[in-house]
Amino acid sequence: MKKTNLTGLTADEIEKFVVSLGEKRFRAKQLYSWIYTRLATQFDEMTNLSKDFRARLNEVATIATLEKVKSIRSSESNTQKFLFKLNDGAQIESVFIPEPRRKTVCLSSQVGCALGCQFCATATLGFKRDLKRREIIAQLMAIMREVDEDITNVVFMGMGEPFLNYDEVIAACRLMNHPDGLAVGNRRIVISTCGIVPAIRRFADENQPFKLAISLNAPTDELRNRIMPINKKYPLSTLISAARYYSLKARFRVTFEYVLIAGVNDSVQDARMLRKLLSGFPCKINLIPLNPFSPDWKRPSEDQVNRFAAEFYDMHAVVSVRWSRGADIQAACGQLAAK
Ligand code: SAH
């Protein structure tokens, strides 16, 4: 008989499972807590469950974990990047980013990616498949076990496009947000999308409590078409109006990400066009100097980044520059798996 994998099951699903074994409901709470609070992987650890129940669990269930292929730690920042192997042999990357006031985990949502953004390392891998809810949550749990720190924030900025795997990503967010389990605050879970317009509207209509970030990366359709082919399907006007729709409905500021690429989208002129595009829109802007992985695309100088950022200082938008942590560990997502 195939054993039931409990990793990724919701509280309700675990309860159903426990009841199906003829056990009392409250046992499900204990089991849930062992899995998601104590991150147990062996039933024998679960000392408040009866010996018989543990033996039964050993027969019929497992708590599957991801196989770590390798991990590298940045000597500058202690950022740690992990390469995990899935059951079918596919590999994905996840990152642990410790900062003084928050400990963030960056998760993958797909194996590879279909979007073909020109400056992105994952794009060179092509698309293999969507991740399951349990494979998404297992990345977080594996890193929690490895680093032994309280994870405060989760971002979907690893491999893949989370809004092309909407159901599994939202299910994983619900699980990591569950107060009796992993308990990551809903406002500390950020889903980053390249701009899948129907999914942004759906996210708004469903009143999802998680945070939204949109990768803009260019101020005009002409440039965006060139570096992010998805823009041909969902051009800037439709993307910005979906973002406004979300922002009004959710009453939260949207974050726009803008990867700065030398000589491509980093001029003061580009900054002014971006400013115009977002004028009157109370949003946040994260400027991300490119993590180069091929000689074709370069990171702008610090001066150029500052000149670009300075164009926004008097706006209502909150601008911050996110220098990548871990250039020495190939921080551009997809770089490790591509090797
Ligand atoms: N597909 C989603 C999430 C994954 S990419 C999205 O597009 O948002 C997460 C972020 O990393 C995006 O803002 C993307 O523009 C940025 N990014 C991609 N390649 C990068 C690189 N080489 N250097 C810096 N940021 C990069």
> Given ligand 1 and candidates 105, 122, 127, 259, which is best to mutate, with the most ligand atoms within 8 Å of its CB?
259
Active site residues: 93, 333
Location of each CATH 3.20.20.70 domain in the chain: 67-329
**Strands 110-112 and 127-130, bridge-based pairing:** antiparallel
Which of 228, 259, 256, 236 lies closest to 117, judged by CA? 228
4-62 placed in CATH 3.40.190.10: no
pLDDT higher than 80, residue 335: no
Helices 236-250 & 197-205 angle (0-180, nearest 10): 10
pLDDT, residue 193, reads 98
Q: Using the atom order of ligand 1, give the atom closest to the CA of residue 115.
A: 1
**CA–CA distance, 201 with 91 (Å, rounded to integer):** 31
* Helical spans, DSSP H, in the chain: 11-20, 26-36, 51-60, 133-147, 166-177, 197-205, 221-227, 230-233, 236-250, 268-277, 302-310, 335-338
Q: Using the atom order of ligand 1, give the atom closest to the CA of residue 193.
A: 8
Comparison of pLDDT for 82 and 334, the residue scoring more: 82
Beta bridge partners of 256: 214, 285
**What are the pLDDT digits (tens) for 133-188?**
999 999 999 999 999 899 999 999 999 999 999 999 999 999 999 999 999 999 99
Q: Which residue has the least CA distance to atom 1 on ligand 1?
A: 161
Which pLDDT band holds residue 328 (cuts at 50, 70, 90)? low
Q: What does pLDDT average to over the chain? A: 94
325 CA to middle of ligand 1, Å?
A: 14
> Given ligand 1 and candidates 110, 257, 284, which is best to mutate, with the most ligand atoms within 8 Å of its CB?
257
Q: What are phi and psi of 255, to 5 degrees?
A: -100, 130
pTM score of the predicted model: 0.96
Location of each CATH 1.10.150.530 domain in the chain: 4-62
Asked whether 63 and 135 are in contact (CB, 8 A), the reply is no
Q: Which fold has domain 67-329?
A: TIM Barrel (3.20.20)
> Given ligand 1 and candidates 192, 227, 230, 305, which is best to mutate, with the most ligand atoms within 8 Å of its CB?
192
pLDDT, residue 331, reads 62
| Ligand 1 pocket residues where CB is under 6 Å | 119-121, 157, 161, 192-194, 215, 217, 257, 259, 288, 290-291, 293, 332
Which pLDDT band holds residue 224 (cuts at 50, 70, 90)? very high
Residue found by looking up tokens 């938008």 in the block: 317
Q: Using the atom order of ligand 1, give the atom closest to the CA of residue 257.
A: 13
pLDDT, residue 285, reads 95
